[in-house]
Amino acid sequence: METRVLKVDARRPDEAAVSEAARIIRDGGLVAFPTETVYGLGANALDAAAVARIFAAKGRPADNPLIVHIADPNQLSDLVEAVPPPAQQLMERFWPGPLTLILPRTAAVPPVVTAGLGTVAVRRPDHPVALALIRAAGVPIAAPSANRSGRPSSTVAAHVHEDLAGQVDLILDAGPTGLGLESTVLDLSTDPPVVLRPGGVTAADICAVIGPVEVGSTRETDEDDVPRSPGTKYIHYAPKALLIVVDGPFLESVQAKINDLAYEFTAEGRRVGILATAETRGAYQAPVVLEVGSRKNMSMVAAGLFSALRAFDQYRVDVVLSEGFPEDGIGYAVMDRLRRAAGGRVVQV
Ligand code: TXA
Ligand code: MG
């Protein structure tokens, strides 16, 4: 299959491009489209065969369910059994936006979407192109992040093309996505609700609206050992190189440890890359030092993280050493993604 790319204005998407994309969705095809978090790989959520093509294109394990994207709250009634008051309050406060809600599903949602679970993940993205596409298609759109399974999520159309050319009918290219990390996933099917994946909407933000929530991605259901959020058991977001995160309260110690490790790996003949910040890049000696943003602006760090991880592949490094970040606000989600990309290899100093 040939993958077409259509450039669209992020604020005022071109109608012809959107209706072409909507036609592909209705015909059972795949369209990659921008959201405010990352690019999604979309198909008609009510068409099981189309959704199956998403799993094939990504090489995604069948037990990892997808998020269903809607443009208007009235699309919810087809997908979920009921909207309990906390869900209603969160939707009013954070939708459209980077918060995914997990609720008991209706029989209309094909099992392939939810990996056979009794719940479905839904979100209303805050991006004019995503909203226009869902409205024009006239169906909810199931969409995981538009990357090969296990690779960093795509924050620009070029990442989508790199991973999925030949696997997707059309890419709507509206430039870089805003937040750069995937949505917060909140399971509302249990009491108390559980944050399964941290993101732009923090647990504190949620707590301020509905009261206490649990935070944890590794808890499992009582009955059957199915992980609560199946996606969180896989290594994610990884560059091709080995990634090691060095974290600690004193930046000088972190820098010293990174330089020590860089020296050791270089002595072993391995090519080293360092993920640094504006404040620290001058402190490092390594063949490749990339700056992900300023430590004073964690939103920029979040927005640049996946691009930076992908860039190391281009420089063909064997090992990437990354600084850790303070875990408040969006920093918590940044560290979550770094830990996963590192497969848990975090050195504390
Ligand atoms: O920002 C985002 O959420 C992006 C954009 C495209 O919307 N999408 C995204 O989708 O990140 P994906 O498939 O890469 O991540 C969805 C996560 C996975 O960890 C999956 O296991 C979890 O949500 N999930 C989906 N449905 C679930 C369910 N019914 N129960 C528990 N976890 C679920
Ligand atoms: Mg993903």
Q: What is the pLDDT of residue 229?
A: 63
Find tokens 């009582």 and name the residue.
222
Number of Cβ within a 10 Å radius of residue 121: 27
**Cα–ligand 1 centroid distance for 298 (angstroms):** 23
Residue from 35, 63, 95, 100 to probe ligand 1 pocket by mutation (most atoms less than 8 Å from CB): 100
Residue from 36, 39, 55, 66 to probe ligand 1 pocket by mutation (most atoms less than 8 Å from CB): 66
Contacts of 292 (CB under 8 A, 6+ apart): 275, 276, 277, 300, 301, 304, 305, 308
Ligand 1 atom at minimal distance to the Cα of residue 98: 1
Give the CA dihedral 160, 166, 171, 173, nearest 10 degrees.
50
Of all helices (H) and strands (E), which one includes residue 289?
Answer: strand 288-291
Q: What is d(CA 200, CA 299) in angstroms, rounded to the nearest whole number?
A: 9
Whether the CA torsion 201, 61, 69, 306 is positive or negative: it is positive
Q: What is the pLDDT of residue 341?
A: 93
Residue 4 three-state SS: strand
24 lines ligand 1 (CB under 6 A): no
Alpha helices by DSSP H, listed for the chain, are: 15-26, 48-58, 85-94, 111-114, 128-137, 157-164, 203-210, 251-267, 298-314, 331-341
Number of Cβ within a 10 Å radius of residue 16: 10
Q: What is the pLDDT of residue 223?
A: 33
Q: What is the pLDDT of residue 239?
A: 72
Q: What is the pLDDT of residue 221?
A: 34
189 lines ligand 1 (CB under 6 A): no
What's the average pLDDT block by block, 10 residues per block, for the chain (349 residues)?
97 97 98 98 98 97 97 96 97 98 98 98 98 98 97 97 98 97 97 96 98 73 43 67 96 97 97 97 95 97 97 94 97 96 95
State the ligand closest to the CA atom of 116: 1
